[in-house]
Structure 1
Amino acid sequence: MRNVSVADYDHLAVDVLPIGTDYPPDHLLARHEHRRAQLLYGARGVMLVETDDGAWTVPADRAVLIPPRTAHEVRMLGVTTWSLYIEPQAVPWWPASCTVVDVGPLLRELLRAANELEADYDLAGRDGALVQLILRELQTVSPLPLALTLPSGEPLRALCRSYLADPDVTVTNAEWARRAAMSERTLDRRFAEATGMSPAAWRARARLLASLPLLRTGTVTEVAARLGYSSPSAFTAHFTRLLGRPPSRFRGPGRR
C-alpha cells in the first residue's frame, strides 16, 4: 500500500501492515504516536526523529525502530519511506527506545516487496511468508550510533535543541554555562547526569549527525567547511571514528 493512513487500516487482523509514503521536501510530521511498533525505513533522503528522550538521524537505506505508544515527530528531508506497523505481541524483542539500524540488501528488497502488498494480502501464502521472513531478518539488524540523548530539564534541553538547529564548532562550555546561568563545573556535572556525555562530546556528535543531511547535496569538503572542521581529512577521521564508516558512504548520488 502506498500513501494511505495507517489509521484507516489499523483495525485489520494482521500482525504487519506495510505502508509506503512519498513526502514533499522538508516535510514535518508533527508529534504523534502509533498503537503498533513501527519500522520506519527511508529508501531515499534523511529523516530527523525526535522524542522526549532523544534525537535520531536516519540516512537513506537505514531504518529506525520506534516502540509502540512512543510520541515522536519526524522531519522528512526528501524522503520516501517503506514502513511496517507491527502488532507489539509479534515482536516481543522490539527495543524499548528508538533505535537506528543498518538495512542490508536482502532486507531492503524484502521491504520493497512488502510495500507493494495490498491490504488484504494472503497470510497463508507467499505474502505471509514474505512478512514472516522480514520479522526474522529484523532480529539480526545491527544498531548504529546515530542518536543523541536530550536532557529532560531546562535550561539544558533548550541549549541542546538550539544547537541541533544550528551546530557551531565555535560554541564552548563557557558560553553554554553563561547561557544556563551556572558554573562550567556544574554544567559538566548536570549534563553528564542527564545525557551520559560531556557537553563537548555531545556537541561533537551533534555536528557529525548534522553532517548527514548536508552530505545529501554537498561534497565532503563543503560539509567539513560548513561545520567548522580544520580540513576535510579531520572531518573524515572524526566521522569515521564515531560512525565506523567514512562520510563518503552517506553522500548523495553523484557527490564526492
Structure 2
Amino acid sequence: MRNILVAEVDGLDRAVLAIGTDYPDDHLLVRHEHRRAQILYAATGIMRVETADGSWTVPTARAVMIPPMTRHQVKMTGVSTRSLYIEPAAVPWFPTRCQAVDVSALLRELILEAVEMEPRYPEHSRDAAVATLILHELKSLTPLPLDVPLPSDPQLRNLCEEFLRKPDIHDPPGRWCAVLNVSERTLARLFQRGTGLSFSQWRQRACILHSLQHLTAGMPVTRVAAMLGYDNPAAYTAAFKRLLGRPPTAHKSPDAFWLDPTARRERHASPR
C-alpha cells in the first residue's frame, strides 16, 4: 500500500500492515498517535521524531520503533518512509518508549515486500508468511544511540530545548549552573536523573545528532564541525564515529542514498 492513511485500513484483522509514503521536502507531521505499534523506516532522507520525553534523529536505512498511543511528531528532510503498523497483541515485547534501531538487510527486504502486499492478505499464504517472518525479525533489532532524552524538570528542560536549537560542543556547564542557580555537582545529578546521561555525554550526543540533518543536506564536514564549535574537523569526526560507528561522510547526500541498498533498488525497480 502506498500513500494512504493508516486509519483507512487500521480495522483490518491482520497483525501487520505496511504503508509506503513519499513526503515533500521539509515536511512536518504534526503530533498524532496510532492505535497500533509502528516501525517507521527511512527509505531515503532523514527524520526527527519528537515525543514528550525526547527526540530521535533517524537517517536513511534506519528506523524508529514507536509504541502504541505514543503522541509524536515527525520532521522530515527528503524522506520516503516505509511503515509497519502492528497489532499490539502481536508484539507484547515492544518497548514502552521510542527506540531507534538498525535494520538488517533481510528485514529491509521484508519491509519493501510487505508494502507491495494486498492489505487483506489470505491466511496461510506467502504474504502471511512474510508478515510472520517480519514479526520474528523485529525481535532481534539492534538499538542505536540516536535519541536525545529530555528531562522532566521544567527549568532544565527549557535549557535543553534551547541548546538543541543551537548546539555548541563547548557550551560550559557553568553557564547552565548560573541560570539554574545550582552547583556543578547538582547539575550532574539533575542530568543523570533526568536523561540517564552525564552533561558532557548529553551535550555531545545532541551536537552529533543535530549535525546529521546538515550532512544529509550536503554541508561540508569542515563547516559542520565549525558550526558546532569543534576545534577541528578531526575532533568532530572522532566524536561522530564513537557515537554512530561510521564517519560523517557516510551520511552525506547524495552518498547516503547510494550507500543504501533499499534506495538503489527502489530507484531502479520497474513500476508494479
TM-score range, shorter chain: over 0.9
> Which residue matches 2:245?
244
> Which residue matches 2:270?
none
Is 1:103 aligned to residue 103 of structure 2? yes
1:52-73 Cα deviation digits (max 9, x unpaired): 1221111110000111111111
1:50-105 Cα deviation digits (max 9, x unpaired): 11122111111000011111111111111110001000111122122111111122
Counting only pairs closer than 5 Å after superposition, residues 25-40 of structure 1 correspond to structure 2 as 25-40=25-40
Q: Give the Cα separation in 2 of the matches to 1:60 and 1:116.
A: 20
> Which residue matches 1:227?
228
Q: Give the Cα separation in 1 of the matches to 2:27 and 2:124.
A: 37
> Which residue matches 1:24?
24
Moved more, 124-133 or 7-16: 124-133
Q: For the Cα contact (< 8 Å) 1:49–1:74, is it kept in 2?
A: yes
Is 1:45 aligned to residue 39 of structure 2? no
**3-state SS in 2 of match to 1:82:** strand
RMSD in angstroms over aligned alpha carbons?
1.6
Structure 1 residue runs of 5 or longer lacking an equivalent are: none
Q: Give the Cα separation in 1 of the matches to 2:181 and 2:118.
A: 57
**3-state SS in 2 of match to 1:94:** coil
Identity, % of aligned positions: 55
Runs of 4+ in 1 over 4 A off after TM superposition: none
How many residues are treated as equivalent by the alignment?
Answer: 255
TM-score by length of 2: 0.88
Counting only pairs closer than 5 Å after superposition, residues 178-193 of structure 1 correspond to structure 2 as 178-193=178-193
Amino acid aligned to 2:46: V
**3-state SS in 2 of match to 1:155:** helix
Deviation at 1:179, TM superposition (A): 2.5
**3-state SS in 1 of match to 2:29:** strand
Counting only pairs closer than 5 Å after superposition, residues 141-152 of structure 1 correspond to structure 2 as 141-152=141-152
1:217-254 Cα deviation digits (max 9, x unpaired): 22322322222212221111111112222222222224
Q: Give the Cα separation in 2 of the matches to 1:200 and 1:137.
A: 35
1:170-204 Cα deviation digits (max 9, x unpaired): 42112122233434333222222211222222111
Q: Give the Cα separation in 1 of the matches to 2:107 and 2:253.
A: 21
> Which residue matches 1:15?
15
**3-state SS in 2 of match to 1:215:** helix
> Which residue matches 1:81?
81
Amino acid aligned to 1:65: M
1:141-183 Cα deviation digits (max 9, x unpaired): 2111111211012111111111112212342112122233434
Q: Give the Cα separation in 1 of the matches to 2:178 and 2:26.
A: 33
**3-state SS in 2 of match to 1:193:** helix
Amino acid aligned to 1:229: Y
Which structure shows the higher helix fraction?
2
> Which residue matches 1:137?
137
Q: Give the Cα separation in 2 of the matches to 1:89 and 1:165.
A: 38
Structure 2 residue runs of 5 or longer lacking an equivalent are: 257-272
Q: For the Cα contact (< 8 Å) 1:172–1:200, is it kept in 2?
A: no
TM-score by length of 1: 0.93
**3-state SS in 2 of match to 1:148:** strand
Q: Give the Cα separation in 2 of the matches to 1:215 and 1:104.
A: 23
Q: Give the Cα separation in 2 of the matches to 1:87 and 1:36.
A: 5
Q: Give the Cα separation in 1 of the matches to 2:255 and 2:80.
A: 19
> Which residue matches 2:93?
93
